[in-house]
Amino acid sequence: MKKILAFDIGGTKIAYAIIDENGNFTNEIIKVTTPKTSAGIYDLLETVIKGLEDRIDGIAIATAGAINNENNKIISHVGNLPEKYNELDFLSLSTKPILLENDANAAGWAEFKMGAAKGTKNAVILTLGTGVGSGIIVDGKLLKGKSGSAGEMHVRFGFGQERKCTCGLWDCLETYVSGNALTTDAKLYMSTDATSYDVIRGLKDNNQKAQAAFEHWQSCLENALVMVGNLFDPEVIVLSGSMAQFVEYEKLNNQVNKDILTQPLVLKLAKFENNAGMLGAALLLLEKL
């Protein structure tokens, strides 16, 4: 049975595990702190790969950043990783097959192949974490666009200058429906030092200000879901990431289906949590072997 060494490279942690061709994690998932330099990251990957190389058929890497259509190169800047990380020559890490994919795309692929979007052909997986990522499945394939960077959820919601986005523009979707966005709403509706955690705690205590903050956040999410429904006509929209667990699925599902012009869709919570990126990258590589 084929086995893939899968990595998930994030700004704070690097996780890795061996995944077999059925999508099972065959050993424990190891997590280490992300080295502070890109050379340090390269050395870490190399050391791990050297130690496991004789047991695996390939290496799959889920990472922040846009990945080209050949799945071997980062083609964008990657804000929360060290300088020149995007210039690393990942292919030189091993003579075994190596595949890179954007972490949100990889997580989306895992949900599509084995998770909440299994059995569909058209699905959108939104990752609501600190920011917002997406994996978009069109007719059974990942939407990559001409260069591989399709699915950037930077769509302006508004014409003013209310919320500055990490992309440099104002009022992108990300500034309204991410974890950071809920912190913005916490400050607007609760107090200037409140965060998303205070909103979540407040919901449990029936705090009205927390409820107002959450309602606003969720109504913005509804706008985003209507956009996704109208543009892509997916069978299912899957929500993943740290914020996904707080969403009122039935209520939002009904409202979205009332508002879209396309045919009914289903809103679902993701099946996989933090390991979806590794799993999806491994499954993508297995299809190519």
Question: Is residue 257 near a second copy by the rule CB under 8 A?
Answer: no
From the list 11-19, 54-62, 116-124, 190-198, the region that binds a second copy by CB under 8 A is 116-124
Burial of 36 by CB count in 10 Å (0-12 exposed, 13-18 middle, 19+ buried)?
Answer: exposed
- Residues in 203-222 at the binding interface with a second copy, rule: CB under 8 A: 219-220
Question: Is residue 15 near a second copy by the rule CB under 8 A?
Answer: no
**Reduced to 3 states, what is the DSSP secondary structure of residue 241?**
coil
- For residues 197 and 273, give the distance between their C-alpha atoms in angstroms, rounded to a whole number: 19
Question: Is residue 274 near a second copy by the rule CB under 8 A?
Answer: no
- For residues 243 and 265, give the distance between their C-alpha atoms in angstroms, rounded to a whole number: 21
Cβ neighbours, 10 Å, residue 242: 15
φ, ψ of residue 272 in degrees (nearest 5): -95, 150
Question: Is residue 122 near a second copy by the rule CB under 8 A?
Answer: yes
- One residue of 52, 143, 200, 212 binding a second copy per CB under 8 A: 143
* Closer residue to a second copy (CB): 58 or 229: 229
Question: Is residue 53 near a second copy by the rule CB under 8 A?
Answer: no
Query: CB of 47 within 8 A of CB of 278?
Result: no
From the list 6-14, 98-106, 255-263, 280-288, the region that binds a second copy by CB under 8 A is 255-263
> What length is written for the chain?
289
| Contacts to a second copy by CB under 8 A | 66, 75-76, 120-122, 138-139, 141, 143-159, 167-169, 219-220, 223, 226-227, 230-235, 259-263, 265
